[in-house]
Amino acid sequence: MSYSYSHSSSSLASSGTTVSSDTSSSSITYTSATQLSSPDNSDGLYGSFGADATALGSDTLSLAGIFATVVDQGSMATLDGTAAALAAASGDETAFADASTSANVAGADFVHTYTVTSNATQDTPTGTTTVAGSTTAVEAYELQPPAGRLDIATVGGSTPIVDAVSAVNSPHLGDASINLDGNFAAVDFNVAAIADDTFAAVDAFALTIEGDLSVSTVFAELAV
């Protein structure tokens, strides 16, 4: 029995929306990318995810999370992972919030990446409130011919970080339902590797300084 497949293409679609007024502004951007390549005899599938959130102000919030799993599925490997970050700050005109997420995949024949980023700022008589959010989701597959290696793996699992990340998809401050009081930072992650030969690692960091800032960052790698 012979097995053959040959196709390579890529596409990128993005859109952005910005709304502003004298006292508030908001923007949201969607980016979607798909890549296809011919199956090869690579020795496995690799995925890495990153999430960072930084908030500066008298009252701040930062959240960062990664959810991914590696599973051996025999003749096909699948990848499904999510990274999410949310930052919010309030204070004087120097209040600042930034959130970013990223994902990288190697060894896959099909990869689809979807990213949503948002920012919103509102000026009030007592100061400024700003929110930033980012989510990156990845799906990937590796096809393995029956005559080839059968212990390929998958990076998978995807659960958005806590409910507050709904603010990523709705950048308007009224929809974010974020009540800032003090300084809070947190990281959340769930990663696992299940196969004969596996690797999984997480590097997480959270810091708060009263009246000044919140920082959350997490990075994860998975491979088989």
> pLDDT value at position 103?
94
Alpha helices for 25-170 (secondary structure H): 166-169
Full domain range(s) for residue 27: 13-223
Closest C-alpha among 133, 61, 139, 54 to residue 101: 133
Q: Is residue 2 part of a domain?
A: no
- On whether residue 6 sits in a domain, the answer given is no
Is 50 exceeded by the pLDDT of residue 67?
A: yes
Residue for token pair 């599973």:
71
Q: Is residue 8 part of a domain?
A: no
Task: Compare 2 and 37 and report the one with higher pLDDT.
Answer: 37
What domain count does the chain have? Answer: 1
Does 133 map to a domain? yes
pTM equals 0.77
pLDDT given at position 212: 93
How many other β-carbons are positioned within 10 Å of the β-carbon of residue 153? 29
Please give the pLDDT value at position 44. 77
Q: Tens digits of per-residue pLDDT, 148-205? A: 332 323 233 333 333 434 444 443 444 444 567 899 999 999 998 777 888 899 999 9
Percent of the chain with pLDDT over 90: 38
Report yes or no on 191 lying in a domain: yes
List the beta bridge partners of residue 112: 34, 139
